[in-house]
A = this chain, B = another copy of it.
């Protein structure tokens, strides 16, 4: 129904992206036609270059264009503290708080037998090798608060505690600014469980 094969191709290409349905793909396509030719070429170049240049940090598996990511290169960070996250984007969320000065390790997933993700796929051996260097004293497991993330956290705790490393999990409860009325029962249960004495 589109009157140009090139248009149809672009719509189909954009539809491969997550959250982009047929209507959005069509809207984006029409917008792209209205952009300056140079801008479109720049966007195309940005796509290809990002895919080509970006690789994983050999130490923590964060995304970087160099051998080591800037966090691993930063000698001012606390090398006794390691935070384990599922995805590189989770690092951004934690860095934004300005509260964490340690290092990271990115699993690129969580344990999931269904998806064929086991310890080897998550590069747990690489993590263990790093922990055996003996510098890290505490590991904060910041995997997602769902079945896979929790299972991964328990698995890691079982694996790392025998090494004499303190293993903690990020806290769960009500989001700040949230409304009790809208909390689901699982979050509410976790919030009750995680209650703390009020100190004056």
Contacts and interface: CB of A to CB of B under 8 A. Distances in A.
A63 B10 CA distance: 14
Interface in A28-58: 28-33, 35, 37, 39-54
Contacts of A13: 42-43, 46-47
Interface stretch (A1-9, A153-161, A180-188): A1-9
A107 to B, nearest CB: 14
B65 A4 contact: yes
B47 A3 contact: no
Contacts of A152: none
A34 to B, nearest CB: 9
A26 B64 CA distance: 15
Contact of A49 (B6, B52, B65): B6
Interface stretch (A89-97, A126-134, A190-198): A89-97
Nearest to A49: B6
Nearest to A73: B3
